[in-house]
Amino acid sequence: MSSCGNVSFVFGCELQGKGYVTQTDTIVGSLIWLLAIAAVCLGIYNVYLIKKISIFHNSFGWFWACRTVGEIGSNAVHVIYSGPITLLQLNTIPPMTGVLIFVVGYYFACYACVMHQVVSLNRTIAVCAPLRYTTLFRKTVCAILSGYCAVVVFIAISLYLLVPCNMKGQLGKANVAMRRNVRFFFQTSIQNFTMMIALTMIVVVNNQPSPNGIYMNVLGFITIIITHINNAMALILFNPEVRARFRMQLHVAPFSTVLSGTNVFSGVFSRVT
């Protein structure tokens, strides 16, 4: 993509091509285009399977299809615009076209992300509260919930067009708080990864036909311990305040050792003299 060079800034110029193609552009553009085509084809096939196979004719299939539609829309933008522009580096397309295409792709991507959370909630209730599953996820409820998510995402995306980008990142205190929040988010995401592995192992072990699977039982037990270790390590690794405390202790400890050695040596020397 173009970096606007040293000429006067033109809004959206970074969404245009440079006007010439390099080997890196060819490799990256081809990779984006091929992967996006594969994602679109697989998404369409997912929707086809949900429609044809009766086991998916339920709330899970509905939410999965909604999420897949969002993924198809997001990847279609890469097939139509991102991949070809990166591959060909065209600089004749109006910048506003790139902005509008970005908004469309971002909407579909956010909708897919939100619906993925709904799919996770659907599966959690199906496993943890199976007797209430059919009552909670009726056909009307599924339609209203998916429509509500679509509207909320649209409103959230619209804020990008209302709030100027130059209003962000101007307050130092806000920047510090934002960096801390992002760090906590990353820390929690790492914790959730091992927690989900442990939860999956517990569900698998508790619902296996025979209780004689010793390896599965041991693995399920160990994953819980690993999760607790990961939770404790996350606080240490992802917080600079904690790391600074460790560094301070490491610097103080050798200095204290040297001082104590000096005192001992002085005492011995005084007794000798």
**CATH number, domain with residue 66:** 1.20.1070.10
Q: What is the spatial distance between Cα 57 and Cα 50, in angstroms, rounded to a whole number?
A: 7
Query: Could you tell me where the DSSP H helices lie in the chain?
Result: 23-52, 59-77, 83-88, 95-128, 130-136, 139-162, 172-206, 214-237, 240-272
Q: What is the spatial distance between Cα 65 and Cα 115, in angstroms, rounded to a whole number?
A: 9
Q: What is the spatial distance between Cα 97 and Cα 86, in angstroms, rounded to a whole number?
A: 15
Q: What is the spatial distance between Cα 266 and Cα 22, in angstroms, rounded to a whole number?
A: 71
- Domain extent for 101: 1-168
Same domain, 201 and 158: no
Residue-level pLDDT, tens digit, the chain, 273 residues: 555 555 565 666 666 777 788 888 888 889 889 999 999 999 999 999 999 988 889 999 999 999 999 999 999 999 998 888 888 888 888 878 888 888 899 899 999 989 989 998 998 898 888 888 888 899 999 999 999 999 999 998 888 777 655 554 555 555 666 676 677 677 777 777 777 888 787 778 777 766 666 677 777 767 877 777 776 777 677 767 767 776 776 665 554 554 555 454 444 444 444
Three-state DSSP at 2 gives: coil
Same domain, 138 and 206: no
Same domain, 132 and 174: no
pTM of this prediction exceeds 0.85: no
Same domain, 1 and 128: yes
